[in-house]
Amino acid sequence: MLPALLALSTVASSTATPYLENLIAEAAARGLADSLTWRRLVHYEPRWIGDGFESTADTERFFLADEGKTDPHAELRATLAAFFAPPVEETKEVQHPQCRFRARYRWLRAELGFDDAQLPVMPCARFEWWRERLNAKSATVVFAAAYLNNPASMFGHTFLRLNRTDTGQATDLVAYTVNYAAIPTTNNPLFYTVMGLAGGFYGMYSTMPYYMKVKEYSDLEKRDLWEYDLSLSEPEIKRLVEHLWELGQVSFDYFYFDENCSYHLLSLLEAARPTLELTSQFGPYVIPADTLRVVVEEPGLVTTRRYRHSRYVEMLAMRGRLSPREVVLAEAIASGADPVDVELPKDRHALVLDAALALNRYRSAEDEDAPKDIAQQILITRGRLRVPRATLEIEEGDPPELSHESTHLALGAGADASAFVSLELRFALHDLFGLANGYVRGSQIEFLRTQLRVPVEPTRGFEPAIEMVRLLRIVSLTPYDAWVFRPSWRLSTGVERLHQDGCVGSSCLYYELAGGPGLSAEPTDKLLLYAFLDASGGAGPAFEKNYRVALGASVGALLTPFDPIRLGVEASYRYPLLGQPYPDFAPGDDGAPFTIRGVAAVNLTTNVELRGTYDRRRGYEAADAQVRFFF
Amino acid sequence: MKKLKVALLSLSAIALAGFGANAVAAPYGMAGCGLGSVIIGADGFMQVFAATTNGTFASQTFGITTGTSNCVRSGVVLADKEQEAFFETNYAELQSDIAAGGGEYLAALSGLFSCSEDIQSEVASVAQENFEMIFPKQETSPVHALYMLKVSLSRHDSIAAACHL
């Protein structure tokens, strides 16, 4: 009884009535504190080390018992006691516990059958007002997909939409969304990232109309949105909304890789339907695209999938329905040519103006100094045509849940100076030669790719050698487009091996930071060509002077002749400016100072890939084959 | 183990932060109803319009300072401000839809006017006819444009009967 008394003492205004003691006894007898619903409502998770539970919530006010964060039983007793608090006048800061902990109250009331005479019902005007305004009838998970020119977007983002209709129409722009995001406390990008990863920020739920999220993702970031309607029943939606109210003032330590937007979205769904086991399916990190797969694969949870194209895709589709002459005309009008005096039938004229306006708006969003009065002239002209808007046919892309999984393990075999076998692990996510479905062709983002090679010749000693510990490699190929120009770029950093004669073990490793701008073009939808300038700085025992600074250039091609085959070739030239002479470039030598690399990849299933690589440079030639398993 | 992974991954993500940012920093002019401001109310709910970089961080590169919102409470828009907030936030989209005689945003606004489904196409066509009255100049204020749209719609008996204007 002692813990219960301690818990009660935290609610100063309450006194332990016999009825409260009855309720506590019955709750204990029925094991409510150990029930799944209670765990979901207070966000208890099994501890990483040792027994027992701990809540992921990090706001003291979320707990009514002093030890509520770690003691579900004490928290339940204290919650029951708090419901007996005398009436309060509701203000922005003050609410009665029956209102503030709305989901807990309604669940416990249903489970224990509260007697209203002994536990008076408090009015919750503010909650009721808010609930009516939200007006949630059904729920939809929304996924912001990857987009060109920002490979990091391939990780995706998820949020929840509370629809005002039972079905969740695509036009439900005025419905509210529920988002979970970190509240940054610094402007410094370095601190920003480190603190984000280490849990230095706290995260909170927020609500805002869907049209704002559409503006943010579809318009500004050019991301397609995918909507997945959920089968949550009316009582489940009701609990979700009540629980969301409880969470409105709660913060959680924010971890970029595990307790992020996706994790908390799943925990909200678990509170709505406690039998769902979503968050427990993840290890130490959660990638939004993976959570989407979990939601989609949960039997019966998703009823409908919908695609909402981005403003950018819409503009390209508007251009796509014009003739070449009309495309030129639309671009001229977008840049200020007369929109009125055009020798075209009215309906074609309207299509040209629609595309011109889209282009003008796109460019003004990119460039603040773009003239603003052109749009008005186009709009007035368009209005006077009196032609209704023609339906725009846009083909759906690949749904993101059908993309390959995030992490891969690869087994390989190959030969350079001797035969070797290799083992590779990459945490995330996708590279240029991977299966592009659900990702963006020409975009690559790799996190933590580590490869070990073991020579299979006894003379080499079977000693495993690190081939690479690549922390990050990003490639962004944005094909040239007359309407949309964006440079391509790439960046790589990590430990690499310098292959040269007589160098074994860790003495030929170096740490490198490399990258540069580039251009790319897409002559057909099967071929992507690119060229890069490469600057690199490296340090390590592999170099004579322990460092190297080099400049160079690369050209390459990526060919997808037919699904699921991808072929690639790249030639690079690198000139060492400072430090170690590059082994493939010796001044006075006649040989070609090039590195040539060829890659062929084919998928057996979405998550099993075969890949062959060939490398050739001065004094070094290697070929290897891998089988990659994504999980 | 968890901490180790975080530490390792943080090294590689540092470089990422700078690149992700350029994609979200696009300027955005219209912030309706002061919804552009970031306020954490005493009751907790963020009233926020902020981009999320890489899908996770509410980003202050995007913060718009239009003063304290007077039409939001507990994270939701007040009923009598809903049309106004929608119109201000989606000003450019509504301009396009009205000029082109239809579209998703105009349909959603008709929804906020409580128009019945079958009157939508008439709403769109009347709005198009009155484009120059609704948006007489480039900088027409959203409040004025909304008012003129309602005026032009209410002149048509069939629309006035099918909507709450």
The DSSP code sequence of A34-67 is: GSHHHHHHHTEEE-SSSSSEEESB--GGG-SSTT
Cis peptide before A564 (omega within 30 of 0): yes
* The one-letter amino acid at A30: R
Tell me the pLDDT band of A521, cut-offs 50, 70 and 90: very high
Distance (Å, whole) CA A218 – CA A314: 10
- Give the one of A171, A184, A427 whose C-beta lies nearest to B108's C-beta: A171
Phi and psi of B76, rounded to 5°?
-125, 155
CA distance A244 to chain B (A): 10
CB atoms within 10 A of CB B3: 10
Cis peptide before A429 (omega within 30 of 0): yes
- Assigned token pair, A547: 């460092």
pLDDT tens digits, residue range A44-72?
988 877 788 999 888 888 999 999 999 99
Q: Is-contact B101 A389, C-beta < 8 A?
A: yes
Of A30-44, A215-229, A364-378, which has the strongest mean pLDDT? A30-44
Least confident of A337-341, A488-492, A574-578: A574-578
Whether residues A383 and B128 touch (CB distance < 8 A) is answered with yes
pLDDT: which is higher, A147 or B66: A147
Q: Which residues of A436-472 are buried (b: 16+ CB within 10 A; e: fewer)?
A: bbbbbbbbbbbbbbbbbbebeeeeeeeeebbbbbbbb
pLDDT of residue A222: 81
Q: What local confidence, expressed as pLDDT, does residue A578 receive?
A: 80
The Cα diameter of chain B in Å comes to 70
User: Are A472 and B52 inside 8 Å of each other by CB?
Assistant: no
Give the number of other Cβ atoms within 10 Å of residue A7's Cβ: 27
Q: Of A461, A483, A447, A465, which is closest to residue A357 (Cα–Cα)? A: A483
- Listed range (A175-179, A208-212, A592-596, A598-602) with the worst mean pLDDT: A592-596
Mean pLDDT, rounded, for B9-14: 30
Give the separation between CA A151 and CA A257, rounded to whole angstroms.
Answer: 17
Q: Read off φ and ψ for residue A258, nearest 5 degrees.
A: -125, -60
The distance of Cα B28 from the centroid of its chain, to the nearest Å, equals 11
Q: Do the beta carbons of residue A586 and residue A453 sit within 8 Å?
A: no
Who among B19, B24, B77 is closest to A209 (CB)?
Answer: B77
Residue in A93, A368, A389 nearest the CB of B103: A389
CA of A622 to nearest chain B CA: how many angstroms apart?
A: 28
pLDDT the model gives residue A184? 60
In single-letter form, the type of residue at position B123 comes to V
Strands A509-524 and A252-254: unpaired
How large is the ipTM? 0.83
Q: Work out the angle at residue A481's Cα, subtended by the Cα atoms of residues A475 and A484, and round it to the nearest 5 degrees.
A: 85
Contact A136, A244 (CB under 8 A): no
CB-CB under 8 Å, B102 with A365: no
Contact A198 B105 (CB under 8 A): no
- Pair type for strands A176-183 and A53-55: unpaired
A579 exposure class (CB count in 10 Å sphere: 0-12, 13-18, 19+)? middle
Instruction: Out of A92, A150, A489, name the one closest to residue B42 (CB).
Output: A92
Residues of chain B with C-beta less than 8 angstroms from the C-beta of A158: 55
Task: Name the phi and psi angles at A184, rounded to 5.
Answer: -75, 145
Query: Which of A397 and B26 is assigned the larger pLDDT?
Result: A397
| Residue of higher predicted confidence among A9 and A554 | A554
Which residues of chain B does A144 touch, with a Cβ-Cβ cutoff of 8 Å?
55
- Chain B residue numbers with beta carbons less than 8 Å from the beta carbon of A387 are 100-101
Q: Is A48 on the interface with B (CB under 8 A)?
A: yes
Interface test with B, best of A172, A215, A387, A468 (most B CBs within 10 A): A215
Residues 6+ apart with CB under 8 A from A551: A533, A534, A535, A536, A574, A575, A577
Task: Please report the residues numbered 302 through 341 in chain A whose beta carbons come closer than 8 angstroms to any beta carbon of chain B.
Answer: none
Q: What is the pLDDT of residues A178-190, one digit of tens each?
A: 888 766 665 555 6
- Indicate whether A612 pLDDT > 50: yes
Burial class (CB in 10 A: 0-12, 13-18, 19+), A525: exposed
Which pLDDT band holds residue A109 (cuts at 50, 70, 90)?
very high
Count of CB contacts below 8 A, A vs B? Answer: 248
Q: What is the pLDDT of residue A297?
A: 92
CB-based contact A261 B16, cutoff 8 Å = no
pLDDT digits (tens, 9 = 90+) for A434-461: 999 888 888 998 989 999 999 887 776 6
Q: What's the sign of the alpha-carbon dihedral B30, B35, B39, B40?
A: negative
Question: Do residues B39 and B68 make contact, with C-beta atoms less than 8 angstroms apart?
Answer: yes
pLDDT at A542: 82
pLDDT at A193 over 70: no
CA-to-CA distance for B153 and B165, rounded, in angstroms? 8
Nearest CB to A472: which of B15, B54, B85?
B15
pLDDT cut 70: percent of chain A above it: 88
**A103 pLDDT above the threshold of 90:** yes
- Weakest-pLDDT range from A146-155, A618-627, B108-117: A146-155
A residues 273..292 contacting B (CB < 8 A): 284-285, 288
Instruction: Kindly tell me if the per-residue pLDDT of A464 is higher than 80.
Output: yes
pLDDT of residue A212: 84
Cross-chain residue pair B51–A260, CB shorter than 8 Å: no
CA B35 to chain CA centroid, nearest Å: 9
Tokens 């990526």 map to which residue? A558
**Substitution target from B28, B45, B90, B126 for chain A, most A beta carbons within 10 A:** B45
pLDDT at B45: 46
From chain A, the residues in CB contact with B50 under 8 A are: 181
pLDDT tens digits, one per residue of B28-76: 222 334 333 333 333 444 433 332 222 333 322 222 222 234 566 666 7
* Residues of chain A positioned with their CB less than 8 A from the CB of B51: 216, 220-221
List the 367-396 stretch of A: residues with Cβ below 8 A of B.
368, 372-373, 375-376, 378-380, 382-384, 386-389
The answer to whether the Cβ–Cβ distance between B5 and A261 falls below 8 Å is: no
Q: How far is A219 from chain B (nearest CA, A)?
A: 10
In this structure, are residues A503 and A511 in contact, taking their beta carbons and an 8 Å threshold?
no
Q: Are A186 and B59 in contact (CB under 8 A)?
A: no
What is the least distance, in Å, from the CA of A206 to any CA of chain B?
A: 5
* Per-residue model confidence as pLDDT tens digits over A617-626: 877 889 999 9
Q: What is the mean pLDDT of residues A415-426?
A: 92
* B48–A206 CB contact, under 8 Å: yes
| Secondary structure (3-state) at A538 | strand
Give the Cα separation of A142 and B55 in Å (integer).
12
Weakest mean pLDDT among A209-223, A290-304, A312-326, A477-491: A209-223
In this prediction, residues B118-134 reach a mean pLDDT of 95
At residue A585, the pLDDT reads 47
| Chain B residues with beta carbon closer than 8 angstroms to that of A134 | 76
Residue A9 is predicted with a pLDDT of 42
The pLDDT of residue A450 is: 96
Half-sphere exposure at residue A15, Cβ-oriented, CA atoms within 13 angstroms: 2
Burial of A259 (0-12, 13-18, 19+ CB in 10 A): buried
pLDDT band at B143 (very low <50, low <70, confident <90, very high): confident
* pLDDT over 90 percentage in chain A: 56
The pLDDT, as a whole number, for residue A26 is: 96
What value does the mean pLDDT take over residues A242-257? Answer: 77
Please tell me what DSSP assigns to residue A479: B
A contacts of B77 (beta carbons < 8 Å): 133, 209
Distance from CA of A496 to the nearest CA of B (A): 15
Amino acid present at A486: R
> Which of A176, A365, A493 lies at the smallest CB-CB distance from B15?
A493
* CB–CB contact A388 B89 (8 Å): no
Question: Looking at CA atoms only, how far is residue B161 from chain A in angstroms?
Answer: 23
pLDDT over 50 (residue A111): yes
The 10s digit of each residue's pLDDT in A316-374 is 999 999 999 999 999 999 999 999 999 999 999 999 999 999 999 988 877 777 777 89
Mean of all residue pLDDT scores within chain A: 86
pLDDT tens-digit map of A398-420: 899 999 998 999 999 999 888 99
Given this model, what pLDDT does residue A505 score? 75
Cα distance between residue A24 and residue A73, in whole Å: 10
In angstroms, the Cα distances linking A134 to A7, A167, A489, B33 are 34, 16, 43, 18
Point out the residue among A158, A206, A256 whose CB comes nearest to the CB of B75. Answer: A206
Residue whose token pair is 């919804």: B35
In the block, residue with structure tokens 């700078």: B18
pLDDT the model gives residue B71: 63
- The answer to whether the beta carbons of residues A296 and A57 sit under 8 Å apart is no
- In 3D space, the residue among A568, A616, A582 whose CA is nearest the CA of residue A596 turns out to be A616
- Closest chain A C-alpha to B164 CA, distance in angstroms: 17
Residues of chain A contacting residue B112, judged by C-beta atoms under 8 Å apart: 174
Instruction: Indicate the pLDDT class of residue A6, thresholds 50, 70 and 90.
Output: very low
Hey, of B1, B8, B14, which one would you mutate to test binding to chain A, going by the most A CBs within 10 A of its CB? B14
Q: A204 with A250: CB under 8 angstroms?
A: yes
Using 50, 70 and 90 to split pLDDT, how confident is the model at B106? very high
Residue type, A504: V
Give the best residue of B37, B49, B56, B74 to mutate against chain A (max A CB count within 10 A): B56
Would you tell me the crossing angle of helices A288-297 and A261-272 to the nearest 10 degrees? 20
- Predicted confidence at residue A14, as pLDDT, reads 46
Q: Provide the phi-psi class of A494: left if phi over 0, else alpha when psi is between -120 and 50, else beta.
A: left
Antiparallel, parallel or unpaired: β B46-47 and B39-40: antiparallel
Cα–Cα distance for residue pair A312/A224, rounded to 1 Å: 9
d(CA B141, CA B148) in angstroms, rounded, equals 11
Question: Which residue did the predictor score with more confidence, A365 or A3?
Answer: A365
Query: Which of B5, B9, B87 would you mutate first to test chain A, the one with the most A CBs within 10 A?
Result: B9
Which one, of A167, A162, A190, lies nearest residue A178 by Cα?
A: A162
pLDDT higher than 70, residue A227 = yes
Q: Which helix (H) or strand (E) holds A290?
A: helix A288-297
Interchain proximity A382–B99, CB inside 8 Å: yes
Interatomic CA distance for residues A388 and B129, integer angstroms: 11
Chain B residues close to A176, C-beta within 8 Å: 75-76
